[in-house]
Amino acid sequence: MKEKNSTKFRVERTKDYTVMSNHHLRNRNLSMKAKGLLSLILSLSEDWEYSIRGLAKICKEGEAALCSTLNELETQGYITRTRQRDEKGRLGAMEYIIYESPKKRENTEIKPTPPTGENPGQGNHVLESPHRVPLIRVVQSREIEAK
């Protein structure tokens, strides 16, 4: 039996819409903030420059809030990230891979790198700047790679 004064919601559709999995939207373990950020990321066009700095420009939240939300998505399996290295083995950008549905976490045990026998010396060591823009790659039915 319907209530007489029940509230109704109506969605007016436009031509500019996004098709995505409902999994993250129905996942009770994700905060609304994480659901919204993942939905936003999945809605961006393939040629959009994916970065934390870029996301901060189109969101109310700053980079720190976005990073904490990305950490939540990683914990829940919607994101994996790997540290890139250059040809000389120096630390480079962080690469994020975003999934529409969570992936099981693989064994994340860190194995020590065997010594090369070379002395690294005290030359100019390049450390990653804390402001370096990480790479973000979105995995949907098609793959998008940031430049």
Residue pLDDT, tens place only, 83-128: 888 889 899 888 888 899 998 766 544 444 555 555 554 444 443 4
State pLDDT tens for residues 10-49: 667 677 778 888 899 999 999 999 999 999 999 988 778 7
Residue 145 sits at φ, ψ, to 5 deg, of -115, 135
C-beta of residue 106 within 8 angstroms of C-beta of residue 86: no
Q: What is the DSSP string of 32-50?
A: HHHHHHHHHHHHS-TTS--
Third-level CATH fold of 23-102+131-144:
Arc Repressor Mutant, subunit A (1.10.10)
